[in-house]
A and B are shown apart, each in its own frame.
Chain A
Amino acid sequence: MISFDRVGKRYAEGHDALREVSVEINRDELVFITGHSGAGKTTLLRMIMLMERPTRGQVTVDGQNLAAVSARGIPRHRRNIGVVFQNHRLLLDRTVFDNVALPLVIAGYDHREVGRRVRAALDKVGLLDRERALPVTLSGGEQQRVGIARAVVGKPKILLADEPTGNLDPALSAEIMQLFEEFNQVGVTVLIASHDLALISRLRHRIITLREGRLVSGSAQ
């Protein structure tokens, strides 16, 4: 589903974020990416959603070589990928409903379909009764679940999460991880960057470890 072939990323100032990373992630897999901050976890995710392009090597997502995706094609590419951010990145002046509806509105869904899908997604993350609330009135865990609902509402094949439990206590973190596992079970390829080794090593999924931009373990299943 996602393949990195000898991918390198060197920034203009000469710093190497990724070096010679080769890894295959299969359809239906749930994979954790771990490593210290600055090890390249985020860069890896950003390349998948074309927030960055590699300086060497090749990234393929769902059979599509990303080097062939032009700037105009980026929005379409991103619509097929759900993303959960550490700092949630919600629209603070919009209701929970409107936040979750955003990807569907962008994709041009009929408003009845939008309503149906948004409620299904909110139900899934347990926030159906908060659809009229503004994000600031929610707790951190709830905000993260709104972010997850927004990521999955378009039924993407791939779900990316960058430190989704970064600011949450262990119990909430476990709940969030369980949500990701449930999406994985219905066929979504899930890629989670996390440095919470204690949590992810309990979950028995493949763990990719990066150190200073190099892949040190977990390159194959």
Chain B
Amino acid sequence: MIGRAAAAGKREGASQSRTGWLDQYKAWLTHHRLSAADSMLRVMDNPLSSAMTWLVIGIALALPTGLNVALDNVSQLSASWDSPAQISLFLHDGISDQRARDLQEELSGRPDIAQAVFVSREDALEEFRALSGFAQVLDSLDSNPLPHLLLVSPADRAGQSGVVALRAELEESPDVAQAVLDMEWLQRLNSLMGLGRRLVWAVAGLLVVGVLLILGNTIRLAIESRREEIVIVKLVGGSNAFVRRPFLYTGLWYGVGGGLFAALLVSASLWYLRQPVSELALLYQSEFQLRGLGIMGGLNLIILGGLLGLAGAWLAVSRHLADIQPR
């Protein structure tokens, strides 16, 4: 529909008649510009109700985005504890240093093992003495109770089942008393996070549907409030595309605004959490820093909002605009 923005540049008097597709294209472009500006003005005309719509969309988008950012942070944290797993081989008591070193070399040479570190029982005792605070108790012992230890890191490509198989195979070795797969809890954490991701996606899917419905309803109300105008435009030869355009832009602006609100909400919550998270990390001697949405994340959110806005508007427009015919 003709925008109030059409007033701009109207005062020029020179005549120029239109011919050909180039002018048609220009006119099409002009109407897009006018529709976009006019829809923007209409959205801005009702700052309170528009802000409510933005906020509703913003919250709906911020919830899954925030959860996703949280999961990203957790996975970043767990990645820093070198994964994926480590197998501790406790050797039989009678194994000599030399035999243990041979075994270490043999294991290091295997393609499915990235690294094998030998911790002799003497080293282990020293380390235990230093860290545990039981030095006096240990001194009172007649002999070293600790076995030789080989720390085996499987190759990255081994995969979870490969690591489990490897552990079983190593335990069969006659020199090995016990093979313990460490970090099982980390794998549990990883599966939990996989589950969390799925839940986030499910929540996101539901909320996206919600956003579409909210936008669709908002646009439907906008269409209703301009029913008479639509009838008049159709009477003087406005096509469906012409009538549709301003409403699609209205949806776009609601969506873009909602995306912007979502980005702000997520950033604000992260900012709010940053200080306590750093303090907590410090207590665990970690350099961990809360990672935010980033500029690209924010932009993506705004683009996503815009696309949802367009989709919601399209939904409403295709359902309601065809019903409005001049009577």
A91 to B11, CA, bound (A): 21
- Could you say which of B19-27, B159-167, B196-204, B313-321 contacts chain A? B19-27
**A111 B6 Cβ-Cβ under 8 A:** yes
Least CB distance from A165 to B in Å reads 20
Least CB distance from A37 to B in Å reads 17
Q: A75-B234, A106-B233 are in contact. Are A112 and B2 (CB under 8 A)?
A: no
Which chain A residues in 62-114 approach chain B with CB under 8 Å?
Answer: 75-79, 83, 85, 89-91, 94-95, 97-98, 101-103, 105-114
Chain A residues with CB under 8 A of B4: 94, 98
Q: Which residue in A97, A98, A108 is a CB contact (below 8 Å) of B18?
A: A108
Q: Which residue in B13, B228, B238 is a CB contact (below 8 Å) of A116?
A: B13
A76 to B14, CA, bound (A): 27
Q: A94-B4, A115-B11 are in contact. Are A106 and B242 (CB under 8 A)?
A: yes
Chain B residues with CB under 8 A of A108: 18, 23-24, 27-28, 30-31
Of the listed residues B34, B233, B236, the one surrounded by the most CB atoms of chain A closer than 10 A to its CB is B236
A51 within 8 A of B: yes
**A111 B30 Cβ-Cβ under 8 A:** yes
Q: A108-B27, A110-B16, A112-B12 are in contact. Are A98 and B237 (CB under 8 A)?
A: no
**A79 B6 Cβ-Cβ under 8 A:** no
**B27 A109 Cβ-Cβ under 8 A:** yes
B205 within 8 A of A: no
Closest B residue, CB atoms, query A73: B239
B17 within 8 A of A: yes
Of the listed residues A78, A108, A116, the one surrounded by the most CB atoms of chain B closer than 10 A to its CB is A108
Chain A residues with CB under 8 A of B237: 75-79, 103, 106-107
**B10 A114 Cβ-Cβ under 8 A:** yes
A85 to B231, CA, bound (A): 13
Of the listed residues A106, A110, A113, the one surrounded by the most CB atoms of chain B closer than 10 A to its CB is A106
A182 to B325, CA, bound (A): 32
A145 within 8 A of B: no
Which chain B residues in 1-57 approach chain A with CB under 8 Å?
Answer: 1-2, 4, 6-7, 9-18, 23-24, 26-28, 30-31, 34
A90 to B4, CA, bound (A): 15
Chain B residues with CB under 8 A of A79: 236-237
A89 to B9, CA, bound (A): 26
Contact with B along A113-135 (1 / 0, CB 8 A): 11110000000000000000000
Q: A51-B326, A105-B2 are in contact. Are A111 and B9 (CB under 8 A)?
A: yes
A208 to B249, CA, bound (A): 47
**A78 B27 Cβ-Cβ under 8 A:** no
Closest B residue, CB atoms, query A79: B237
Give the B interface residue count (CB, 8 A): 39
Q: A76-B237, A105-B2, A109-B27 are in contact. Are A91 and B10 (CB under 8 A)?
A: no
A76 to B240, CA, bound (A): 11
Least CB distance from A99 to B in Å reads 8
Give the A interface residue count (CB, 8 A): 32
Q: Which residue in B16, B228, B234, B242 is a CB contact (below 8 Å) of A112?
A: B16
Chain B residues with CB under 8 A of A9: none
Q: A91-B229, A111-B6 are in contact. Are A75 and B14 (CB under 8 A)?
A: no
Chain A residues with CB under 8 A of B12: 111-112, 115
**A115 B10 Cβ-Cβ under 8 A:** yes
Closest A residue, CB atoms, query B238: A106
**A75 B18 Cβ-Cβ under 8 A:** no
Least CB distance from A136 to B in Å reads 14
Closest B residue, CB atoms, query A75: B239
A43 to B200, CA, bound (A): 58
A150 within 8 A of B: yes
The list of the 3 closest CB pairs from A to B, nearest first, reads A108-B27, A79-B237, A78-B237
Q: Give chain B's interface residues, CB within 8 Å of chain A.
A: 1-2, 4, 6-7, 9-18, 23-24, 26-28, 30-31, 34, 228-229, 231-240, 242, 325-327
| Chain A to chain B contacts (Cβ below 8 Å), 30 pairs | A51-B325, A75-B234, A75-B238, A77-B237, A78-B234, A78-B236, A79-B236, A89-B232, A94-B2, A94-B4, A97-B7, A98-B2, A98-B6, A101-B2, A102-B233, A105-B2, A105-B31, A106-B236, A108-B28, A109-B27, A110-B18, A110-B26, A111-B6, A112-B15, A112-B16, A115-B10, A115-B11, A116-B13, A116-B15, A150-B236
Q: Give chain A's interface residues, CB within 8 Å of chain B.
A: 49, 51, 75-79, 83, 85, 89-91, 94-95, 97-98, 101-103, 105-116, 150
Using A95-B7, A101-B2 as known contacts, list a sample of 20 further A-B pairs with CB atoms less than 8 Å apart, ordered by residue number in A. A75-B242, A89-B231, A91-B1, A91-B229, A94-B4, A98-B2, A98-B6, A103-B237, A105-B6, A105-B31, A106-B237, A108-B24, A108-B28, A110-B18, A110-B23, A111-B6, A111-B9, A112-B15, A115-B11, A150-B236
